[in-house]
Amino acid sequence: MLGVKQHKGEEKNMPRGPKGERRPRDVIGNAVHVTRIATGQIEETFPADGGKNKAAQALGQMGGRARAKGLSAKRRKEIAKKVARSRWGR
């Protein structure tokens, strides 16, 4: 395949989509795959859990909530202004 470098002993794996699903390696194969999904010839499948660790999600949410609870309104406002300046370049 053009532009794909393989090292000795490396097996050819199909590329994976953002949720871990297998995708065709070449452009034409991908076009055929998309057409089959669009016409209903094959069903597109996704992992049941969305590919995310539920425990890690819960911990991340708890950490953000705990931090927000510990900040004063004045400090939250300062942080928001700093973020806006960096984002919008003001």
Domain boundaries, the chain: 54-88
81: left (phi over 0), alpha (psi -120 to 50) or beta: alpha
* Angle in degrees, CA 39, 40, 41, rounded to 5: 95
Give the three-class secondary structure for 22: strand
Structure tokens at 56: 């890690």
Task: State the DSSP code for 49.
Answer: T
pLDDT at position 73 is 92
9: left (phi over 0), alpha (psi -120 to 50) or beta: left
Q: Per residue of the chain (90 residues), give pLDDT as tens.
A: 444 455 555 445 666 666 666 766 788 888 888 899 899 998 877 766 666 777 877 777 777 778 888 899 999 999 999 999 999 885
Full-model pTM = 0.33
pLDDT at position 75 is 93
Please, what is the end-to-end C-alpha distance for the chain in angstroms? 47
